[in-house]
Structure 1
Amino acid sequence: MSTGNVSYIKDFVIVGFPGLHPRYYGFVSAVLFFIYVCTMVGNAVFFTLLIISKSLQKPVYYFLLNLAVCDVLFSTTTLPKIISRYWFHDGSISFLGCFVQMFSVHYFGTVSSYVLALMAIDRYAAICYPLRYHTIMTDRNVFILSCVAWVWSCAVPLMLVIRAYPLPFCAENTIAQCYCDHFSITSLACTDKTLYTFPALVSALIVLLGSLTIIVFSYSAIIVAVLRISSAKGTLKTFSTCSPQLIIIALFFLPRCLNYLFTNIGIKFSNDLRVVIVMLYSLLPPMINPLIYCLRTEEVKKILRRLLQNKQIGVPLQLP
């Protein structure tokens, strides 16, 4: 049913990688399924360790719990649909379902950015104010900050959905992306897109650059403090601990900012390259966050070794 040039779309079709040859569908779906399994298993291990070990029940790991929950929900929102697109040749998604996915994608991405900022503040307090750390980062304060991050994150995604949902859409219903996001949906609308894309760009950059500013300030202060008080060996150890986290932060924030800017200021690059970039910064952090933030830490490695040793000799599980 249509009126003029406008059609009432009942569903969208997720294309994924536009230029991908059908012979590679099986390989791509297997890679995406592997990423999804790794994300689920890695975060499940962290959830289990946090529950059974009292020594991990401290502020930094509570923030990591928020990040892990967010990573699991984000991956579950996006990956099953694109896997089915290549595995079962089913890329269709309902009109309402597409907007629900759009909200979820931007919501969990916003929560992640805020949680990363809170984790940077936690490290700043621990290293720069060690004597006051336990009075600053109490369980109550961590709970309040976490709740604020989850509640406040609703604002921008909800605004994007409310403004995009009533748009008139043309007959074209193919989403040139691996999931429904604001840019992919609004680009199909039969109206002036500037009124919708520019406010979305400003909102996204405020969220990303605001969180990134806090992170840069926190880690800069940490580096200055460590250089002042630590020996060369201590400084090297601190940098080796922080560098993987900074890599993840850079992988999360910088490609997002560049993608939003390039997309909205008219810099052209192929759809396939854009989709690859989006998938890299969307899927790699959730997969490797458990390894970088949890399984690399000495405290978690000791608990894992104790678990494996107890299992081998049949000793009942007793963790501090």
Structure 2
Amino acid sequence: MAEGNQSTVTEFILTGFPGLHPEYQDLVSAILFFVYFLTMAGNVIILFVFATDHSLHKPMYYIILNLCTCDILFSTTTLPKIISKYWFHSGTISFTACFVQMFFVHYLGTVNSYILFLMALDRYLAVCHPLKYPILLNNSTILILSITAWVVAHAGPLMMVIRAYPLPYCASNIINHCYCDHIGITILACTDRAPYGFPAFVFAMVTLLGPLAFIVFSYCCIIIAVLKIANVQGRIKSLSTCSPQLIIILLYYLPRCFVYLASNVGITFSADVRIVIIMMYSLCPPMINPLIYCLRAKDMRESLRKQFKRRAVLKKAHVSAISD
């Protein structure tokens, strides 16, 4: 069939978890809503603390600010629709809306990868080049790099949408996923997918493995630099400054690398298992990241403690004023 906008499909149907028994749908939707609520609450709290405490206006926390924003947007792009499928039996999504969702899924994933690259760069310069760190990576530099990441990241996903949107979709309109992505949509096209799938795969590999290569290099350099520190306490302190970022990076990359490697060595998963794995590595890090910031970043812990203490004092003063 010739290519062109000959689609007879006007909407797509998201299956969510295909093998999920109806009696568990309410439970799953409640879990997804709980994940969304915790993600929004945790990241909004971090943004609020950052906005109200100027002591946190440092390069590392500006990077965390970008990551929080990206996590909020990604969760808002993906979760409400699949929650509404199970709560309100509304699993359909319009043709155009599906492509819009696909763009934001891949765009925000790309931004996330670039932000993790900046996170590794921040720790690399802080540990390996501490004297040059204030000059090379100040707030202005981070602002420029962050804006660049958000602007540059749109190019690949936008091209994927532009190439996939005009394809003829004249067969099934069922997407076996919880949200629209490039693979889920293009396999439904009534044409050869290879000319569209291969460039998208290359883009995904460059976006994933490019930053990952630098991250691995930077942390190898960090470990070597830390081992050269004679003082044991100095080693522990240096490693502790890197631990929050390292945990976040591992949460993002390890499951993705596992899925890609498994598919290349012939390990296959059922549709439900594959979707569960994808949803876990897509949605768990945004929910867990704020907890990591609070537990592992000393400045963030202190700022939160001050916020709670200030609010407790204000509440006590308000109660005293009412009683008087």
Q: Is the shorter-chain TM-score for this pair beyond 0.5, marking a shared fold?
A: yes
How far apart, in 2, do the equivalents of 1:143 and 1:7 lie?
Answer: 43
Q: Which amino acid is 2:65 matched to?
A: L
Whether the aligned pair in 1 keeps the contact of 2:13 and 2:91 (CA below 8 Å) is yes
Report whether the alignment pairs 1:213 with 2:204.
no
How far apart, in 2, do the equivalents of 1:71 and 1:261 lie?
Answer: 25
TM superposition shift of 1:300: 1.2
CA RMSD of aligned residues (A): 2.0
Residue 157 of structure 1 corresponds to which residue in structure 2?
157
> Over residues 105-154 of structure 1, what are the superposed CA-to-partner deviations in whole Å (9 max), with x where a residue is unaligned?
00000000000000110111111111221111122211110111011101
Residue 107 of structure 2 corresponds to which residue in structure 1?
107
Residue 307 of structure 1 corresponds to which residue in structure 2?
307
| TM alignment of 1:1-320, pairs within 5 A | 8-240=8-240, 242-260=242-260, 268-314=268-314
How far apart, in 2, do the equivalents of 1:261 and 1:228 lie?
Answer: 34
TM superposition shift of 1:264: 7.6
How far apart, in 1, do the equivalents of 2:228 and 2:269 lie?
Answer: 45
TM-score, scaled to structure 1: 0.91
DSSP 3-state at the match of 1:9: coil
How far apart, in 2, do the equivalents of 1:261 and 1:184 lie?
Answer: 20
Whether the aligned pair in 2 keeps the contact of 1:205 and 1:257 (CA below 8 Å) is no
DSSP 3-state at the match of 2:166: coil
TM superposition shift of 1:46: 0.7
How far apart, in 2, do the equivalents of 1:81 and 1:280 lie?
Answer: 17
Q: Which amino acid is 2:196 matched to?
A: Y
TM superposition shift of 1:239: 3.7
Q: What's the % identity of the aligned pairs?
A: 58
Structure 1's 84 and 185: CA in aligned 2 closer, same or farther, altered over 3 A?
same
Structure 1's 280 and 309: CA in aligned 2 closer, same or farther, altered over 3 A?
same
DSSP 3-state at the match of 2:93: strand
TM superposition shift of 1:170: 3.0
Structure 1's 149 and 294: CA in aligned 2 closer, same or farther, altered over 3 A?
farther
Whether the aligned pair in 2 keeps the contact of 1:11 and 1:94 (CA below 8 Å) is yes
What runs of 5+ residues in structure 2 fail to find an aligned partner?
A: 1-5, 318-324
TM superposition shift of 1:167: 1.1
Structure 1's 59 and 243: CA in aligned 2 closer, same or farther, altered over 3 A?
closer
Q: Which amino acid is 1:83 matched to?
A: I
How far apart, in 2, do the equivalents of 1:264 and 1:88 lie?
Answer: 38
TM superposition shift of 1:258: 4.2
> Over residues 71-129 of structure 1, what are the superposed CA-to-partner deviations in whole Å (9 max), with x where a residue is unaligned?
10000000000000111111110000000000000000000000000011011111111
Whether the aligned pair in 2 keeps the contact of 1:201 and 1:260 (CA below 8 Å) is no
How far apart, in 2, do the equivalents of 1:108 and 1:224 lie?
Answer: 33
Q: What count of residue pairs does the alignment treat as equivalent?
A: 311
Whether the aligned pair in 2 keeps the contact of 1:122 and 1:137 (CA below 8 Å) is yes
Report which stretch shifted further, 48-57 or 288-297.
288-297
Whether the aligned pair in 1 keeps the contact of 2:120 and 2:245 (CA below 8 Å) is no
Structure 1's 68 and 226: CA in aligned 2 closer, same or farther, altered over 3 A?
same
